[in-house]
Structure 1
Amino acid sequence: MLITEQQTIATYYNALVNREPSYVGTFYVGVKTTSIFCIATCRARKPKRENVEFYSEFKDALDAGYRPCKICKPTENAQAAPKQVEQAIELVKADLKQKVTDQHLREQGIAPEFVRRWFKQHYGMTFQTYQRMFRINSAFEELKKGNTATDTAFNAGFNSLSGFGYTYKQVVGHSPKTQADKQIILISRLTTPIGPMFVCATEKGICLLEFVDRRMLETEFKDLQKRLKAQILMGENAHIKALKQQLESYFNGNLTHFTVPLDTPGTDFQQQVWQCLQTIDYGETASYQQQAQKINNPKAVRAVASANGFNRVAIVIPCHRVIGKDGSLTGYGGGLARKKWLLEHEQRHRVANQ
């Protein structure tokens, strides 16, 4: 939303001039003379008051035609985990047997209230729930290797087998005894030049990559869990780590084709459409009609468009490369501003690499 209240504008401009870190993510400032937008702590030379306008969300700045500043990288740094949150996460990963309490956080100079607010805002869960998911994910991996429930409970930091069994069933949906034929979906968060994203993966491959502000994201999570008969837990596996590396290379303009394995449940027709999407070359576009013709079903234009909309793996399965027959941008789950950005990014780097 464009900020119009004069007192708020004055406050934000003062924060911009003074590079106030407490305002990072609170506003995004568009500089009219350069067509870029920044966060409060940007090191670039400060623009005059009459040459800026303020937005409450980075998507609003993108929609208004501004590009992310290459110095402060607003869509990355405003959404990345603050140092205190990163420290709290490292405490969790360092020793799964040890529950990280408010006291432990304070001993490390970390404000537990700040950590709780950040997790609630950016993950939609409490920090304690985040910890439990990591511990249960570790337990799941141990059980898969054939470890006993007793040893697994102890290694995961539980004081009793009954407490472990109860928590495990609450999180995963079944008891540790029925572990053998079950699977889980791991979820992690990452930042990109056009906003933060969630990535999910099974043992087979990536099953979801979506912007965190996508509408109906919760519905997508529920549908994915139902289709794969698995629960979503916080964590990373080799597929998620590989995708994060490939996405970094993609956004740097150095990668034009993703090789990470995918696990995308859907109908036969959806699978056909998603496979066809991956044949659109980097830096190129195609219409829904052209896609329908490629799959030898020229009358299925609307069905193709619908299948595109059900694609859960953004960017990797490049539905952003599909445009209207007249060349216009059409619907995109991440927003048309992001679609425009992605297309321009690919076209620019394609030319540069030729």
Structure 2
Amino acid sequence: MAADRGDAALEVLFLPFATGALAWPRAGDVPFLRARDGWPLREAARPGLICEQSFRPEADALARSGWRVRDAEAVDAESGDDAASHPLVLLLPPRQRDEARALFARAVASCAPGGVVVACMPNDEGAKSGEADLKALAGLSGSLSKHHCRVFWATVDASSTDAARLAEWSTLDAPRPILDGRFVSRPGVFAWDRIDAASALLAAHLPDDLHGRAADLGCGYGYLSVELLRRCPGIVSLDLYEAEARALALAKRNLDAFAARLPLGFHWHDVATGLPQRYDVIVTNPPFHAQGRAERPDIGRAFIAAAADALHPGGRLWLVANRHLPYEQVLDARFRTVRTVAQANGFKIIEAVNA
């Protein structure tokens, strides 16, 4: 899902450089946190740019375009990668405010004295709050608006940085126990502080006779995988697929108790591109949004197609989805039998058996 001319926030992020309000540094690495690919990156020379992205489709798009890409989960805080040495840090903050504040703190902490943090957000996704947060953390040097987005920046130095706030915000998205310690999660991950109602409904309807090699597509922090293994002793191995690296790292921790019982695989992977292995059982609560607010039922249909291709003959797909999502056509086309097991609270549970 590479950015294009419809990615207004990406375009407006570079507006201060296009207008001359800011100058691109002549030397030094320039981290771009939550980077997305698109024509604004290629509109002018961007020496030193390092793109950081934990969402696999966006990371793949950046890599295909030839940018240096690193996964945020692979950045070792002790390695010096985030030391206060960068002349410029770019940022497309997420909507979740604790996650965004933690990212602002990382950006400020990684700037050299006199370095600049530049961020951009759509107006309807928290631009006003984001601008206020950066101002409270490090002062504000300027801002511009265009295409219903706001780009804002701060010149970082000790006199304008709120050290106490910096320390506090640096830990706002740290992993922590949730649900009385049953799981570890963190802000910004889907349904991060609760059990998603759709996944809970699917778990409650999983039959205990599911057996063989299994996969969880879009595993999140691992709730559905835990329930599958708890309820179905016939599962002999489980692969977890997740496009968001921050969630996958949590799933590894949350499945640790099962590691001695059966083989587990953890895959930072865009399921929509297909699966590399074959399975007897697949469970999924497929996403129907990407990183924006618009509904994307095509993602769910791609998950279903990937499951059909990956299941052995007679293999079983157990799926939960919002009741209104139009998945029946692809299910009927790709599976031998399809049945609606339950409908409740706006969701539907479907079992589909492969030909």
TM-score normalised per structure 1 = 0.29
More helix by share: 1
More strand by share: 2
TM-score normalised per structure 2 = 0.29
